[in-house]
């Protein structure tokens, strides 16, 4: 399914503060199934198909790249889809572009309170959803499960052994776990968290036994989807200097963080760096 619609991904060479940086443009893999979500959904869709499901159900916030990607992929491959969306109050409002597009693609939107949304992994809540939406293949929030991790291993190839450091943005941790799995022992994987908190370290430690990774939330700019004027200014400048589109929730914060570490001399000279552009441009703020 997914392999037939994948487009060519380029590696863009960047010079950042004396370092050679290779930017892997996953944002190019598909215009609607963007970036890492392409890799995260691939084996989930194959599994849903293998098990004979005709419909999918998943979870996300109002601006979720995962919701946008799932809605498109479901339509493309002939599945029905339901999106459980955080925020009951959105129900009576005009849909934002992410949700409007998802709905136009045929996704049924089901709004739940923030309180209920927090129960998204609890058996009882999932059972309630099962009653309401029977026979749906369930993909967890952000698409993260073992099938997602399997897909994200394919972001790295055997030709990537030359790199010493691999960087990516982190939300639920599925993508970085795939990268860690596929990395070599001599490589370090550094994740820039889009949210505040150490819980991600525990989450990821549960998913992998390897130890050649680290996550920093020093550049989350106050929390998920929060921004600062410095971040927004950095993004604007970076886009202009390197002709790379970024967004403010994930990739902007990652490159903001990496640039700061390079500038402050926290990364040894000559380190060969691979940076994963995870896409997400549908959620870009103008
Ligand atoms: C969803 C997303 C991430 C986070 O991926 P996880 O696997 O949840 O850690 C990073 N970057 C972009 C652009 C995303 O859309």
**For position 106, what pLDDT does the model report?**
98
Closest CA to 249 of 274, 270, 232, 266: 232
Tell me, in angstroms, the distance from the centre of ligand 1 to residue 89's CA.
25
Tell me how far CA of residue 219 lies from CA of 201, 228, 251, in angstroms. Answer: 16, 10, 11
List all residues whose CB is within 6 A of at least one atom of ligand 1.
35-37, 65-66, 142, 144, 169-176, 250-251, 278-280
Q: Is the pLDDT of residue 17 over 80?
A: yes
Three-state DSSP state, 24? strand
Mean of per-residue pLDDT scores for the chain: 96
Distance 173 CA to ligand 1 centre (A): 8
Pocket-testing residue among 29, 169, 176, ligand 1, by greatest number of atoms within 8 A of Cβ:
169
| pLDDT digit string, tens, across residues 236-253 | 999 999 999 999 999 999
The pTM (predicted TM-score) of the whole model is 0.96
pLDDT at residue 24 greater than cutoff 70: yes
Question: Residue 286: pLDDT band by 50, 70, 90 thresholds?
Answer: low
């Amino acid at each position: 399914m997914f392999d037939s619609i994948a487009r060519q991904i380029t590696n863009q060479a960047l010079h950042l503060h004396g370092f050679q940086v290779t930017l892997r443009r996953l944002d190019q893999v598909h215009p609607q199934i963007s970036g890492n979500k392409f890799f995260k959904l691939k084996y989930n869709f194959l599994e849903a198909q293998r098990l004979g499901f005709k419909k999918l159900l998943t979870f996300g916030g109002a601006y979720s790249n995962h919701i946008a990607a799932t809605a498109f992929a479901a339509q493309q491959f002939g599945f029905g889809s339901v999106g459980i969306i955080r925020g009951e109050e959105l129900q009576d409002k005009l849909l934002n572009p992410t949700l409007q597009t998802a709905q136009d693609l045929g996704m049924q939107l089901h709004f739940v309170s923030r309180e209920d949304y927090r129960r998204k992994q609890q058996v009882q809540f999932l059972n309630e959803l099962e009653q309401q939406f029977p026979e749906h293949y369930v993909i967890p929030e952000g698409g993260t499960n073992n099938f997602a991790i399997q897909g994200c291993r394919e972001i790295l190839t055997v030709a990537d052994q030359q790199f010493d450091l691999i960087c990516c943005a982190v939300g639920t941790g599925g993508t970085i776990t795939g990268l860690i799995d596929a990395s070599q022992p001599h490589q370090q994987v550094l994740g820039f968290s889009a949210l505040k908190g150490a819980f991600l370290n525990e989450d990821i430690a549960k998913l992998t036994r390897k130890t050649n990774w680290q996550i920093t939330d020093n550049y989350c700019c106050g929390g998920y989807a929060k921004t600062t004027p410095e971040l927004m200014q950095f993004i604007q400048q970076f886009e202009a200097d390197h002709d790379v589109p970024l967004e403010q929730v994930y990739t902007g914060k990652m490159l903001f963080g990496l640039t700061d570490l390079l500038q402050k001399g926290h990364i040894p000279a000559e380190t060969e760096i691979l940076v994963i552009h995870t896409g997400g441009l549908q959620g870009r703020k103008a």
